[in-house]
Amino acid sequence: MADTVLYEVTDALATITLNRPEAMNALDTATKNALRDALREAGADPAVRAVLLTGTGRAFCVGQDLKEHVATLHGDGRAPGGRTMSTVQEHYNPIVTAIATMAKPVVAGVNGVAAGAGAGFAFAADYRVVADSASFTTAFAGVALTADSGVSWTLPRLVGHARATDLLFFPRSVTAAEALELGIAQQVVPAAELSEAARAVARRLAEGPTVAYAALKESLAYGAGHSLIETLAKEDELQERAGTSADHRIAVDAFLKKEKPRYTGR
């Protein structure tokens, strides 16, 4: 894996760190490949029960590396078939799909500015812990592009259609405080405490009922695009899965004994 993305697994928690601080964690091809592969590895590893995605330096991720993108615009870096924006299909879509659909919780520890695709990756996570000095911007229209990295799906679900339209048509810096008010951030902490606060949330999830969390993710995504009757049927299906898990039996036994459950993730 490229050293622009760091990957570590400790006590069932996979920490994936964007590591191009000199470029504000801008997404060049090597970084996009490494991030996609790290997320897929975490999603497929049964020993991993939660994922923490964060960045080093002043930024979480400022999106596409525009210096590298210039070569594509001048025709030097086009993919076979002549697609100028092939990175959406090759990188951004798989990255967001991995974050949003893996059967385990993903926490974004937003340490600094999250822009463009970087914001999209944070929006796709299940939980966002944000430094009080961090900010978000959609950025796309500012460089004459449309939304990618799932933002047209995730952002309206976080802030509503009208606010999403405003943020996409008129990109601006959304402070951490405003992000909390809008519903983008679930928790805002002092910048010096971001690393430990995000890790604490991720560790708690890594120690929790993994099958139930996976079902909750699936249920929320399904309910966003289906009718009540269809969603009730999906809940029935997912509750059967959760109800037959080892963790459910552990939780019930612990409740009856007035003990704290020690989940296994199965």
In sign, the C-alpha dihedral spanning 85, 109, 57, 157 is: positive
pLDDT, tens digit, 9 for 90 and up, residues 228-250? 999 999 999 999 999 999 999 99
Where in the chain is CATH 1.10.12?
A: 210-256
Q: How far apart are CA 129 and CA 159, in angstroms?
A: 17
pLDDT, tens digit, 9 for 90 and up, residues 8-57? 999 999 999 999 999 999 999 999 999 999 999 999 999 999 999 999 99
Please state which of the four CATH numbers 1.25.40, 1.10.12, 1.10.3470, 2.60.40 is assigned to the domain occupying 210-256.
1.10.12
Q: How far apart are CA 126 and CA 201, in angstroms?
A: 11
Which residues have a Cβ under 8 Å from the Cβ of 144 and sit 6 or more positions away?
none
What are the angstrom distances between the C-alpha of 210 and each of 4, 32, 193, 205?
29, 27, 26, 8
Fold of 5-206: 2-enoyl-CoA Hydratase; Chain A, domain 1 (3.90.226)
The DSSP H or E segment spanning 83 is none
Q: How far apart are CA 137 and CA 140, in angstroms?
A: 9
